[in-house]
Structure 1
Amino acid sequence: MANKNSPVKGDLKMATVAKRPREENVEQFEQNIVNVGTENKIHCETRAKSFLKWFSSNDENFFSDKVTIGPDGSCAQNGMIAIKDIEEGECLFQISRKILLHPKTCSISKLLEKDPLNSENGWSELLICMMHEYHDQESLWKPYFDVLPKSVELPMFWTKDEREQLLTGTGVLEAVKRDLDKIHKEFETVVSPYIKKHQGVISPGCDDLDLYKRMVSYVMGYSFTEPPKDDDSEEEEEEDEEEKSVIYMVPMADMLNHIAKNNAHLSFKPDCLEMVSTKAIKKGEEVFNTYGELSNWHLLHMYGFSEAYPANIYDTVDIPLDIVLDIAEEEAENKEFARKKLAFFKQKVMEELIGDIVVGTNGILTEDRLYMVLKVMEMSPSQFAIYEEECEEGWEEDLDEDTSALTEFDKMDDLSQSWKTVISRSASACLKRYTTSLQEDEEKLKQTKTLNSHQQYSLHLYYGQKMLLQKLINACK
C-alpha cells in the first residue's frame, strides 16, 4: 500500500491562534484568524506559483489548464482546485520519473550505491538523500522543498501532555511512542554515523535529529510506494523485489488532499506517473486523491488529520482479543473449563499473533477471528478435546462455518444471546478506555470552531471510534 501525501498542511502559527478564546475576546480572536489566514494564504500562493513554474519547466511533465494549485483547498496549505469542468478519465498532470526523489535519482546516488546504508529500515537512505538535497542550494528539488510545509502536524510532534490528553484510548498514543523510539534509535545507530563518515560528500547540517524527524514526517505524509507489478514468474518477482520496495517523493502528486470518496487516482506508467480523474469534477471543486482505505486511526497517525464522522467509510476501531476472552470466561458457566480454553487461546495468540477484533462501519471486519473465538469458548469438553487435538500440528482458524452474521450490524440479531452478550460487553469495556464520554464529545462537536486542529482531529478520531462501538452494542441488544 502506498504512502500518500498529507492534507494537513497547517502551520504552528495557525494552531496557536486557533485556541479557545475567552467569550469577551471572541471578535478579536476571529480577526486574528483572518489576519493569520490571509498572511499564510499569500505566502502559500507565492510558493505554489514558483513550484508550478519549476514543475512546468520540465518538458516531460504535463499540467492541465483545467486545474490549479494553491491554498484554496480543504486545508491550511495547498490543494488542487478545478478551474474548468473535468470529465471522468482526464489526465490532470503527468510527472516524469526523472524528477521523482529517491536514492537512485538524488545527487549522492553514487555514494549510496558504492556504500549502501547498513539498515533494515527501508526509509533511511531516502531520508539521508532528502536531508542532503534540502541543504543543497543548487538542488534540483529546491523549489519542491520550498513548497512543502515547515511542519507536518503529525502527533509525534505534539507535546507528550497533549498526546496523552487527546489520544488516550485511540491506539495512536502507543503507535507514536513506538515511532519515536525507532526514529531515535535509527538516527543514533545508523544515520548519524553514516553522515559523519561521509561528511565531505553529504551536505553540512544533515547530522541533525530535528531535521531527520522532519524528513520522516515528509516521508510519512507525502511519499508514495509503487504498487507491485503482476509478475507471472517467481524468478521475475525476485529480480524486481528491490525495485518494488523503492519509496518515492513525488512532486505535485503530494499536493492533493485526501478524502475517502476521492475523485482522482495516481497511475504508475513506465516513464511517468499520471493523476487521472475517476469521476466528473465541476469547476470550483477540489481534486482529491486517496491514500488508501484507511481508518481515522491511520490517517491521524500517518498524515496528521482525520475525517469527521461518518465521512470516513473506511473507519475502524479495535477490540483487544484479551478483552473478548476475559469476558467470555466471565460469562461461562464452567469457570475452570473456560480458563483452560482461555490459556489455550493466549498461548496461541502469543505464538501465532492472530490479532485483535476489528470493527468497521458496517460490521466486524475480522469476523472469522471473532467467530472462531466465540465458537471455541462455547465448546463442550468433548468438542474442545477433539479441536485441541486437531490443532496440535498447527493453528487452525477456519472452523468451516458461516460467519456472515458478524459481517453486518443488521444481521447480528440472528446471533445467540450468549454471543451477543460477550460482544456487547467487550465493546462497552472498550468505551471505558477513553477520557471522555459520547455525550461530552457531542457537546464539543457543537463548538469545533473554538478548537485547534489537534483537538478537532482527535475529536473526530475518538468520536468515530466510539460511534462504531456503540453501533456494535446496539446491534447486540
Structure 2
Amino acid sequence: MATPAKRPREENNDQNNVNADLKTLCTNRANAFLKWFSSNDDNFFSGKVTIGPDGSCAQNGMVAIADVQEGESLFRISRKILLHPKSSSISALFEKDPVNSESGWSELLICMMHEYNAKDSPWKPYFDVLPETVDLPMFWTEEEREKLLTGTGVVEAVNRDNKKILTEFQSVVSPYLKKHKDTISESCDDLELYKRMVSYVMAYSFTEPPKDDDSDDFGEEEEEEEKSTIYMVPMADMLNHIANNNAHLSFKPDCLEMIATKDIKKGEEVFNTYGELANWHLLHMYGFSEAYPANHYDTVDIPLDLILDIAEEDAENKEFARKKSSFFKQKVMEDLIGDIVVGTNGILTDDRLFMVLKVMEMSPSQFAIYEEECEEGWEEDLDEDTSVLTEFEKMKDLSQTWKTIIYRSATESLKRYKTNVQEDEEKLKQIDSLNSRQQYSLHLCYGQKMLLYKLINACK
C-alpha cells in the first residue's frame, strides 16, 4: 500500500480523535482481512508478522513481531484467490464476449467494479481493507499539480493518463457495461468508480514476469496463459515500498510467496519492492516518494532537443551545427525512446548522449557518411567506449566542449522547476508542517535537482 500515513500534525483533540478513529477502523479492517485470508486452507501466514497501521510508515503495512531470518516465508497466497478476469464471477461473460482495449486493463477494471459492488463477492474483505482513495496526482487539482510538480515529468504523465482513462471509459468500458447491464450492475457505469479502480491497479496490481527459458516452474500451456496476466494480489499489496527492501514476491506454480530477502528484526516493517523506480514514477503510480538520497534508483530527465539546441548555440560554425541538429531531430530522434536520463551515479542513457555529442562534433565529411548511413536505418552504435559518461567521477576526462554542453543543459533544466534548491532546503527544515502532497512533491523535486547538481559539478 502506498497511501500516506495520516498522523496528527498538530496537538489538538479534534485531530487526535480523527486519527484515532482512522487507526481503529484500519486495525479492525486489517484483522477482518487477515481472518479472511487465513480461512483459505491453501494460504499461509507467518506468526512472525502482522498487518495493520501499528509500526507502519503508511495507513497499513506489515511489521515483524518476532525476528525473521533471510529466506523465511512470510505468507503464501493461493492462485485461486488472486483477483483477475478469469477468477471473477463474470469470467464466463469475458470468455463469451472479450473486452478489447488499448491499455489491456479494461477486463480487469470491469471485473473489479463488479466485485466491488457485489454484496456477496468473495473479495469483499479485500476491498474493505483498501483505502477509500489512493492519493495519486491524477486526483489532485490541476492547480496543485502545476504548483507542486512542474518540471518533474509527472504533470505530463498525469495529463496523458487522464485523457486515456476518459477515452477508454467512454469508448470501451461504458458501452460494454450498457450492453451487459443484465449481468453487471448499472452502478458500475460510473466514471469516478472506474478511476478509483484504475488507481488500485496502478498502485497495487502485480504483473507476472515472463518465465526464464531454463525455468521449469510452468508447463508451456500455463506459461502462455499466465505470463502477461495482471493480478490484484490480496496481502501482497499490504506491504509498503522502499528502494532498500527486505522482502520479495515470488511467483510459483500454485501460489505467490513473499520471502524475506534479509534478516528482519522484531518491530521492523517489512518492505517489498515495486521495482527499480525513480521518485517521479513512485509518486505518479503509487502516491509517494522517498526523501533524498534514500532512493538509489532515482533519476531526472534532460530533454534531448535541449542538448541539441545548446550544442548548436555553442558551435563555431552555427549554420553547419544547425544542419546537423535539424537532421538529427527529423531523422533520428523519432527512433530514440525518451530523453537523456541521469541517475544517482551518472548518465544511464550513456550511448544516447554519446551519440548526440559525437554527431554534433562531426566534420562535414564525417557527417556526410553519417547521413548516408542513416538513410538505411539509424543504429545507436559508434563502436566506441561510452563508459566515461556512466559515472560522474569519470566525466573529468571529457573534452571541454562536451562538458560545457552537458553543464549548460543541466543548468538550463533547473529552470523548469517552480523553486530552487535553497528554497527547497528551507522547506525541508519544516517538513512536518507540510501535508503529504507537499512533502512527497518536495522530496521529488529536491532529489531531481540534486542529481542535476551532481552532473553540473562533474562537468565544471
Residue 139 of structure 2, aligned match among 157, 160, 169:
157
Structure 2 residue aligned with 1:93? 75
Cα distance in structure 1, aligned partners of 2:189 and 2:26:
29
Instruction: State the Cα distance separating 1:240 from its structure 2 match.
Output: 4.5
Q: Which amino acid aligns with 2:3?
A: V
Residue 142 of structure 1, aligned match among 98, 115, 124:
124
Instruction: State the Cα distance separating 1:33 from its structure 2 match.
Output: 4.1
When residues 425 and 397 of structure 1 are mapped into structure 2, their CA distance, relative to the original with a 3 A threshold, is same
Structure 1 residue aligned with 2:423? 440
Q: Is the 8 A contact 1:306 1:457 kept in 2?
A: yes
Instruction: State the Cα distance separating 1:353 from its structure 2 match.
Output: 3.0
Q: Is the 8 A contact 2:56 2:63 kept in 1?
A: no
Structure 2 residue aligned with 1:352? 335
Structure 1 residue aligned with 2:278? 295
Cα distance in structure 2, aligned partners of 1:411 and 1:334:
29
Q: Is the 8 A contact 2:177 2:186 kept in 1?
A: no
Cα distance in structure 2, aligned partners of 1:355 and 1:156:
22
Gaps of 5+ in 1: 1-5, 19-25
SS at match of 1:288: strand
Cα distance in structure 1, aligned partners of 2:62 and 2:231:
20
Cα distance in structure 2, aligned partners of 1:180 and 1:131:
19
Residue 329 of structure 1, aligned match among 304, 308, 312:
312
SS at match of 2:416: coil
Q: Which amino acid aligns with 1:391?
A: C
Residue 219 of structure 1, aligned match among 176, 182, 201:
201
Q: Is the aligned partner of 1:116 residue 2:98?
A: yes
Structural mapping, 1:63-74, within 5 Å: 63-74=45-56
Instruction: State the Cα distance separating 1:32 from its structure 2 match.
Output: 4.5
Structure 2 residue aligned with 1:230? 212
Q: Which amino acid aligns with 2:396?
A: D
TM-score, reference length from structure 1? 0.93
When residues 79 and 27 of structure 1 are mapped into structure 2, their CA distance, relative to the original with a 3 A threshold, is closer
Cα distance in structure 2, aligned partners of 1:388 and 1:382:
10
Q: Which amino acid aligns with 1:190?
A: V
Q: CA RMSD in A?
A: 1.7
Q: Is the aligned partner of 1:475 residue 2:442?
A: no
Cα distance in structure 2, aligned partners of 1:274 and 1:361:
31
Structure 1 residue aligned with 2:227? 244
Instruction: State the Cα distance separating 1:121 from its structure 2 match.
Output: 2.2
Cα distance in structure 2, aligned partners of 1:238 and 1:298:
34
Instruction: State the Cα distance separating 1:237 from its structure 2 match.
Output: 7.9
Structure 1 residue aligned with 2:298? 315
Structural mapping, 1:45-444, within 5 Å: 45-231=27-213, 240-444=223-427
Gaps of 5+ in 2: none
SS at match of 2:248: strand
Structure 2 residue aligned with 1:464? 447
When residues 354 and 97 of structure 1 are mapped into structure 2, their CA distance, relative to the original with a 3 A threshold, is closer
SS at match of 2:237: helix
1:204-239 CA-to-partner distances (Å, cap 9, x unmatched) read 410000000000000000000001012479xx9899
Q: Which amino acid aligns with 1:381?
A: P
1:337-361 CA-to-partner distances (Å, cap 9, x unmatched) read 0011001110124431343100000
Instruction: State the Cα distance separating 1:397 from its structure 2 match.
Output: 1.4
When residues 237 and 119 of structure 1 are mapped into structure 2, their CA distance, relative to the original with a 3 A threshold, is farther
Cα distance in structure 1, aligned partners of 2:285 and 2:403:
34
Q: How many residues align?
A: 457
Instruction: State the Cα distance separating 1:379 from its structure 2 match.
Output: 1.1
Residue 8 of structure 1, aligned match among 3, 12, 17:
3
Cα distance in structure 2, aligned partners of 1:359 and 1:113:
45
Q: Is the 8 A contact 2:56 2:62 kept in 1?
A: no
Structural mapping, 1:25-44, within 5 Å: 27-28=11-12, 31-44=13-26
Instruction: State the Cα distance separating 1:325 from its structure 2 match.
Output: 0.2
Cα distance in structure 2, aligned partners of 1:356 and 1:175:
14
When residues 60 and 172 of structure 1 are mapped into structure 2, their CA distance, relative to the original with a 3 A threshold, is same
Cα distance in structure 1, aligned partners of 2:300 and 2:211:
31
Cα distance in structure 1, aligned partners of 2:143 and 2:414:
21
Cα distance in structure 1, aligned partners of 2:337 and 2:232:
34
Structure 2 residue aligned with 1:23? none
Cα distance in structure 2, aligned partners of 1:128 and 1:116:
11
Q: Is the 8 A contact 2:72 2:259 kept in 1?
A: yes
1:109-150 CA-to-partner distances (Å, cap 9, x unmatched) read 000110111323211000000000000010000000000000
1:149-198 CA-to-partner distances (Å, cap 9, x unmatched) read 00000000011111111011100001001000000111111101111111
